[in-house]
Structure 1
Amino acid sequence: MPDPSSTPTWIRIANHLLSAEINPHGAELSSLKDADGHELMTNADPRWWSGRAPLLFPVVGKPANETIRVDGRDYPMKQHGFARRRDFAVIEAAPTRAVFALGDDAETRASYPFAFGLEVAFALDGATLDIGVTVRNPGDAPLPASFGFHPAFAWPLPYGAPREDHRVTFADDEPAALRVLNGDGQVSDEARKSPLDGCTLHLSDEMFARDALIWDRVRSQSVRYGADTGPALEIAFPDTPMLGIWSKPGAPFVCVEPWHGIADPAGYAGEYRDKPGVFEVAPGAEKRVAMSVTLAA
């Protein structure tokens, strides 16, 4: 068991419509409540999954053999990277805004041999929580990276509609087939027929029996999650070309995961910087990746 005295205190931000709490360990959004105190996120019951909204950096998904190759050398890298397991510095803690930062050190360079800066800003604006992530390159060579969001929202939402009435509605048509993970967590060559009914994904436990639903070429930049009755969540992701939706059969949450990165293709043995979804940040430059969650009537 972790020592409670060493557990970082969650940072709370709030306005008249929403409150959010962020754990500096991983800069993880850990609670999002409406004005009446209804929790909109997972309860992190470890019977299902103990995560809440981990930030995925510098990889999304599981690298083959849990390694990445940089300039011909292999480095150990766990699924979804190391940022979710690191304590971030609290740069700002204002009533409606909080900012967290992580930089490279000897431990990160042992698995990811690059100088980097990762800043995460949370801000409330009315009924919207904005999350802005900035990846900075303080080095003198291009910085390869991937980044993903992994928030787990309550399923059902706390407004009385039954679980089976919940759906995810995409902003645009999504005709492309989905990708499939194999038993080792890599992306297989298999294509999965889209389960959408028009623009609507009718959530069911059965659709997650084979792990996540993965759109590796998503057209939409937003989705709406909820039921026909009661408030819903509008989730916008303008900077990420991929999307995962994941749960476990019977679990009280569903994850809507905007990604700029993806698990390794099955059998991939190439350079990290060449794998699908990896972007590069020029020396002295930065890249911003944002998402927002709006509580909508």
Structure 2
Amino acid sequence: MDRHTLSNGRITATVKADGAELCSLQDATGQQLLWQAGPAWPRHAPILFPIVGRLKGDVLRHRGKTYPMTQHGFARDQRFVWAEREPLSCTLVLQDNIETRAHYPFAFRLAVTYALDDDALVITYEVSNTGDEMMPASIGAHPAFAWPLPGAEDKASHTLVFSDAEPAPVRRLDGGLLRAQSEPSPVEGGALALSEELFVDDAIVIDQLASTSLRYMAPGAPTIDLSWQGFHQLGLWSKPGAAFLCIEPWLGYASPVDFDGEFSRKPGVIHIAIGETRRFVQHIGVS
């Protein structure tokens, strides 16, 4: 498999061309911090594009036509082209092609850059509209971190500490679609005590996100600091019994259960003008 490894002595990260996916993240001592795609879930940190979550009936509607579109879009299953491969950075690019246009009738360029900056991995996503009409889209990150983290006693010792209080209600899913009713947030102030019970009812969708960063931590374990720019929602997900926690900055979310209209009018999508490039950034710090 075509892979590229970045290392600066403090962080070592490996990226593969398939899906432009981060598949390894190690600290200075070589401890693996990323889920290694076990049987419970066969991915590491997929890129979600051009949708986040599911569309009703797995169908995208545009100008009276329908296009099949599976959960989280097709980018994670496409092979990207290497545009740059350096010791401390790399860039991969996906452009529309015959296969993508069968699902998403828009011309686009998606460039993903991974770069090491001291004790952080910086991931930059650039979405360009290269076509001749407005382009509706969503984009999201989906990194699965080890849970428990190496050196931690157990899963229950872990906490997420948000940069801001998160009092707004959260959303849950029904068949992959957003339920009509929201639920009280399990975040108390700015902290979420982690447990498997949180995810018995699938993912937690924070669609009124106040924070722009959080800390994933446990006594005796490395600390992971995440921050994001341009993403306005956050998904949290795990499978009970599986040793991972997905912490997912998003711009967009699954369709509401009662929405089955034109994709351009779907709640959560952005509209990228002809010739415009939108930029989104995720920082993953390790200490």
Q: Tell whether the structures are fold-level matches, with TM greater than 0.5.
A: yes
In structure 1, the residue matched to 2:62 is 70
Q: State the TM-score, normalized to the length of structure 2.
A: 0.98
Q: Does 1:42 align with 2:35?
A: yes
Q: 1:102 aligned to 2:98?
A: no
1:15 aligns with 2:4: no
- 1:10 to partner: Cα distance: 1.4
* SS across alignment from 1:273: helix
Comparing 88-97 with 230-239, which one deviates more in the overlay?
230-239
| Gap runs ≥5 in structure 1 | 1-7
Q: 1:205 aligns with which of 189, 196, 199?
A: 196
Distance 1:216 1:33 in 2: 30
Contact in 2 for aligned 1:222/1:238 (Cα 8 Å) = no
1:13 maps to amino acid: L
Query: Counterpart of 1:3?
Result: none
Counterpart of 2:205 in structure 1 is 214
Taking structure 1 as the reference length, what is the TM-score of the superposition? Answer: 0.95
- Indicate which of 126, 145, 150 corresponds to 1:158: 150
In 2: Cα distance, 1:201 partner to 1:26 partner: 30
How many Å separate the matches in 1 of 2:118 and 2:263?
40
User: What is aligned with 1:254?
Assistant: 245
1:226 and 2:255 are equivalent in the alignment: no
Query: In the aligned structure 2, how far is the partner of 1:35 from the partner of 1:261?
Result: 34
Structure 2 Cα separation of the partners of residues 66 and 163 of structure 1: 34
Q: How many residues align?
A: 287
Following TM superposition, where does structure 1 have runs of at least 4 consecutive aligned residues deviating by more than 4 angstroms?
A: none
- Indicate which of 31, 42, 47 corresponds to 2:24: 31
**In the alignment, structure 1 residue 174 sits paired with structure 2 residue 162:** no
- Shift, 1:43, TM fit: 1.9
Mapped partners of 1:76, 1:253: distance in 2: 30
Deviations 1:14-51 (A, max 9, x none): 111000001110000000001111000002111x1111
Whether contact under 8 Å (2:152, 2:219) holds in the other structure is no
**Cα shift readout 1:121-141 (whole Å, capped 9, x = no counterpart):** 000011000000000111122
Give the match's secondary structure for 1:192: coil
User: Partner of 1:293 in structure 2?
Assistant: 284
1:240 to 207, 231, 238: 231
- Matches for 1:54-65 after TM superposition, within 5 Å: 54-65=46-57
The within-5 A match list for 1:93-172 is 93-172=85-164
1:162 positional shift: 2.5
How far apart are residue 160 of structure 1 and its match?
Answer: 3.4
Aligned-partner residue type, residue 11 of structure 1:
H
Measured in 1, the distance between the counterparts of 2:178 and 2:256 equals 5
Q: Secondary structure at the match of 1:191?
A: coil
Q: In the alignment, residue 74 of structure 1 is paired with which amino acid? A: T
Partner in structure 1 of residue 261 of structure 2: 270
Distance 2:127 2:113 in 1: 12
Equivalent AA in structure 1 for residue 227 of structure 2: A
State the distance in 2 between where 1:93 and 1:178 align.
Answer: 40
Q: Is the 8 A contact 1:16 1:126 kept in 2?
A: no
Identity of aligned residues (%): 43
- 1:4 aligns with none
The CA RMSD measured in Å over matched residues stands at 1.0
Q: Note if contact 2:36-2:43 (Cα within 8 Å) is conserved in structure 1.
A: no
Name the counterpart of 2:270: 279
One-letter amino acid matched to 1:271: E
Q: For structure 2, list consecutive stretches of 5 or more residues without a partner in the other structure.
A: none
Q: Alpha-carbon deviations, 1:76-111, whole Å to 9, x = none? A: 001000000000001111001010000001111111
Query: Structure 1 CA distance, aligned partners of 2:187 and 2:135?
Result: 36
Q: Quick one: distance in 2 between partners of 1:234 and 1:257?
A: 13
